[in-house]
Structure 1
Amino acid sequence: MALEMRERCERCETTALPADGPARICSYECTFCVPCTEEMSGTCPNCGGELVPRPRRAG
């Protein structure tokens, strides 16, 4: 199963998240921009899981 590469931050909904750019995800693939992640202390507001750097896709 492929990782869903969401294009917008789920919190601010304004930050574009290109597949090769920085983003943070939890184990359920909730996706946030780095500034929002920092404001939430690295914890997903949906599931309470840890937000970690989203892997980047090769070319």
Structure 2
Amino acid sequence: MALEMRDRCERCTTAALPPDGPARICSYECTFCTPCAEAMDGVCPNCGGELAPRPRRAAAD
């Protein structure tokens, strides 16, 4: 089962999140840009879980 690499922040919806760029996710794969995650004190507003750095994927050629 692969990690879903969402391309938009769920809070501000304006931040583009490329697969090789920084983002924060919870264990349910809720996805946020770094500024939004910091504004939420690293806590997912959907489940209350910890927001951790999302692994990066190499950009497709």
Q: Could you tell me the TM-score, scaled by structure 2's length?
A: 0.93
Alpha-carbon shift at residue 50 of structure 1 (Å): 0.1
**CA–CA distance in 1 between the matches of 2:58 and 2:21?**
12
1:23 maps to 23
**Is 1:58 matched with 2:61?**
no
Alpha-carbon shift at residue 57 of structure 1 (Å): 1.5
Aligned partners of 2:25 and 2:52 also within 8 Å: yes
Aligned partners of 2:19 and 2:58 also within 8 Å: no
Q: Could you tell me the TM-score, scaled by structure 1's length?
A: 0.97
Extract unaligned runs of 5+ from structure 2.
none
Identity in percent: 81
Q: Which amino acid aligns with 1:29?
A: E
Alpha-carbon shift at residue 56 of structure 1 (Å): 0.8
Extract unaligned runs of 5+ from structure 1.
none
